[in-house]
Copies of this chain bind each other. A is one copy, B any other.
Amino acid sequence: MMKRIKLTVAYDGTDYCGWQVQPNGMTVEEILNRELSALTGEEVKVIGASRTDAGVHAEGNVAVFDTETGIPAERIAYALNCRLPEDIVAVKSEEVPGDWHPRYQCSVKTYEYRILNREMPDPVCRRSTVHVSYPLNLGDMRTAAGYLKGEHDFKSFCSPHTEVKDTVRTVHSLEIEKEGDIITVRISGNGFLYNMVRIIVGTLINVGRGACPPEKVKEILEARDRRKAAATAPAKGLVLKHIRYGK
């Protein structure tokens, strides 16, 4: 009998061309399709919740697929992990209703962006943090972040390489914490535009280094013009932490 499986997936995005299948390189989606097909003996195609960019990591991206396999739903993650490369892990598998879709319903996504803020780089965490050698003013970064919370038109923080028309999104929370040399920017929202988190972080770094007064972020937001915001921060600092689904 056909059942729909929700898969929670973690990956180190370093060596992948992002989530979505594409002609020019290996992607997380392609690996999942290949290994789920081999595991079930069916032609499986997953549908992902978040099509993360090349180099972006995940602790809890979500995918669904339909299968008639006899493997119990909650065992699929274990069976799949025996086949997956070590940079992709199926964290959880569970059965969901047949009409459950990971994108077309109410959800809150949480991303973290990690910045190593000290003079010298750290080779051990180089794949999952971005190194900023100049000092960053956390107070100014937090003031700037305050303007971005809530419902806004985030057109200034959206890559122009997208066809999305409605650029209004709600940022539920945007926190900046420091522990040791690591600054973590944690952002939750009902959805994010293409490159939105990385453009927000790039802009906050600009504020933190003193290149942009915190108040100016309000203007950047109101301009609805991508050219006003800072450069997109590198992919490797970003991790999709989790996606919470509501009713």
Residues of A within 8 A of B (CB): 10-12, 57, 59, 77, 81, 86-92, 120-128, 239
Contact = CB atoms under 8 A, between A and B. Distances in A.
30 contacts: A10-B120, A10-B122, A10-B123, A10-B124, A11-B123, A12-B123, A12-B124, A12-B126, A57-B123, A57-B124, A59-B122, A59-B124, A77-B120, A81-B120, A81-B121, A86-B121, A86-B123, A86-B126, A87-B126, A88-B123, A89-B121, A89-B122, A90-B120, A91-B120, A92-B120, A124-B127, A124-B128, A124-B239, A125-B128, A127-B127
Contacts of A12: 123-124, 126
A147 B120 CA distance: 38
Contacts of A126: 12, 86-87
A10 B116 CA distance: 14
A10 to B, nearest CB: 5
A62 B89 CA distance: 36
Q: Please report whether the interface of chain A is mostly helix, strand, loop or mixed according to DSSP.
A: mixed
Nearest to A179: B179
Nearest to A11: B123
Contacts of A92: 120
Contacts of A57: 123-124
Contacts of A123: 10-12, 57, 86-89
A90 B10 CA distance: 32
A125 B239 CA distance: 12
Contacts of A122: 10, 59, 89
A88 B121 CA distance: 9
A92 B121 CA distance: 11
Nearest to A91: B120
Nearest to A77: B120
Nearest to A126: B86
A107 to B, nearest CB: 21
A12 B127 CA distance: 11
A11 B91 CA distance: 29
A41 B70 CA distance: 67
Nearest to A85: B123
Contacts of A239: 124
A98 to B, nearest CB: 26
A185 to B, nearest CB: 16
